[in-house]
Structure 1
Amino acid sequence: MTENVTITKAGQKVTNVVLVHGAFTDGAGWRGVYENLTARGYKVSIVQNPLTSLEDDVAATRRVLDQQDGPSILVGHSWGGTVITEAGVHPNVAGLVYVSALAPDTGETAAEQYEGFAETPDFVIDVGDDGYGYINRHKFKAGFAHDTSDADAAFLRDSQVPINMAVFATPVTNAAWRNKPSWAVIATEDRAFDQAMLQHMAKRANAAITEVAASHAVFLTQPEAVADTIDEAARTAA
């Protein structure tokens, strides 16, 4: 167990962590990261995004941030990166951690982050008549979680949470990374995002980058590595 020694400007240690999941999943995927961080002495809270709009997901995140008793590290995976970019201006946020995540700038949409970068043919989204999307069942393991077992990939596939695809066209009004210190965990075997795209977003946010050999589901398959970066953020954010 490590001792958390970060002191904020208000003289408080950063001992709170708020985890925000991405599209097609729910907060249960953070279980390994949660257990790792709580064993280190952190108070960890997990947001359950409705995935119905950027506004709704940000509101869900702010409700959890409102409950924190002090400065917190706000963590987002994938689509959750857009959510923490907007919600991260909350006064309880001391730092941001992007886990193979989107990081738009003010006025940009999540969809615009893909422009100019290579396509990812293994990551296929099927969109229903109602505008909600799922990852293609036949491509799920290859595109989202190729480093899991067949059984775990099947469970993730069959428990998908659909996302309103309109969220990707909603512009961010506040880019918290412009004013908050940031870190990025980049999965080097990510097949949902082009590597150059992940590097571009992280470097633009001036994030301290950690590369991990993992799929897009790095939060699930490499929980210790993700927790290590969150721990570093909590110990060094001011």
Structure 2
Amino acid sequence: MKSRSILKKINILLLIVVISLSNYSYAQNSQSVKNIVLVHGAFVDGSGWKNVYDILVKKGYNVTVTQQALTSYESDVESVNRIIDQLDGQCILVGHSYGGAIITTAGNNPKVAGLVYVAAHAPDEGESEGNNGKLYPPAYKSMIKGEDGFDYIDPKKFPEDFAGGVTKDMASFMAISQTPTADVAFKAIIKNPAWKTKPSWYVVAKSDRIINPYLERMYAKRAKSVTIEVAGASHCVYITHPKEVSDLIISAAQGKK
């Protein structure tokens, strides 16, 4: 009788331990990443993230917006890593357009928990976004290559090609305030792409004229990204559809696959 009582107590203790471990594991998995880093792409700066920023901050996230100089791929990656290193804890790294190539490398930072690509490039080992763009040619023909090695979008065609859906006044302002981008940045060869080891999410802009939507789908499929497609969205999907973009970023922060 005594041995049965002892065995019963042991079984109860084991059950308590199992339940406790399960609850602990669930709590760990359900914890959200609170830091979000938003990385802009070529020809623009971080101000375009304002609508997404506002939504995420109201949801309680700590949001940082990068302002890399677009003078070289290496320096842009360094700029983003500098921001990541300053954070207290892990982050979700979000990249738009050329910013996707940046987070593909910067995402190897140990503090990065996941990657979100927003109408962005996600090159593989040995690839560059410039060469990948030739596989699925984009619709726009408005890039101007400066004699000084910096590229920009023809301001007259910027609203239609880059900023479809953005208000006329804002698109016109973006056109004349754009940041010329070093042509060599688009030719940078990617090494050790972070999406191969980190979970990823992807926003496909179905009416993108800067990056062919079929290329975006290829990137998302190859990276096994959780993917949404936004109908009617241009390359500026992060400006025109901030809720859809923010919702996917929140899903990434919560680890939802």
TM-score (norm 2): 0.86
Instruction: From the superposition, tell whether residues 67 and 8 of structure 1 become closer, same or farther in structure 2 (CA, over 3 Å).
Output: farther
Distance in 2 separating the partners of 1:13 and 1:154: 38
User: Of 168, 173, 192, which residue of structure 1 is paired with 2:210?
Assistant: 192
The residue that corresponds to 1:108 in the other structure is: 127
Aligned-residue identity in percent = 44
1:210 maps onto 2:228 in alignment: yes
User: Of 186, 203, 206, which residue of structure 2 is paired with 1:168?
Assistant: 186
The residue that corresponds to 1:68 in the other structure is: 87
Distance apart, 1:137 and its partner CA: 1.4
Distance apart, 1:173 and its partner CA: 1.6
1:90 maps onto 2:145 in alignment: no
What SS does structure 2 have at the residue aligned with 1:236? coil
The residue that corresponds to 1:227 in the other structure is: 246
The residue that corresponds to 1:3 in the other structure is: none
Distance in 1 separating the partners of 2:250 and 2:27: 14
Distance in 1 separating the partners of 2:136 and 2:253: 32
User: Of 20, 24, 38, which residue of structure 1 is paired with 2:43?
Assistant: 24
What one-letter code is carried by the residue in structure 1 that aligns with 2:174?
Answer: L
What one-letter code is carried by the residue in structure 1 that aligns with 2:202?
Answer: A
With 99-108 and 111-120 compared, the bigger mean Cα shift is at 111-120
TM-score (norm 1): 0.93
Gaps of 5+ in 1: 1-5
Instruction: Judge conservation of contact 2:31–2:254 (CA < 8 Å) in 1.
Output: no
**RMSD over aligned Cα, in angstroms?**
1.7
Distance in 1 separating the partners of 2:33 and 2:193: 22
Distance in 1 separating the partners of 2:192 and 2:77: 11
What SS does structure 1 have at the residue aligned with 2:87? coil
Instruction: From the superposition, tell whether residues 134 and 7 of structure 1 become closer, same or farther in structure 2 (CA, over 3 Å).
Output: farther
Instruction: From the superposition, tell whether residues 215 and 70 of structure 1 become closer, same or farther in structure 2 (CA, over 3 Å).
Output: same
Distance in 1 separating the partners of 2:109 and 2:121: 19
Distance in 1 separating the partners of 2:177 and 2:254: 35
When the two structures are aligned, how many residues end up with a matched partner? Answer: 231
Instruction: Judge conservation of contact 1:183–1:207 (CA < 8 Å) in 2.
Output: yes
Distance apart, 1:224 and its partner CA: 1.1
Instruction: Judge conservation of contact 1:53–1:164 (CA < 8 Å) in 2.
Output: yes
What SS does structure 1 have at the residue aligned with 2:135? coil
What SS does structure 1 have at the residue aligned with 2:64? strand
Distance apart, 1:109 and its partner CA: 1.0
Distance apart, 1:60 and its partner CA: 0.4
Larger helix percent: 2
Distance apart, 1:115 and its partner CA: 2.7
Gaps of 5+ in 2: 1-25
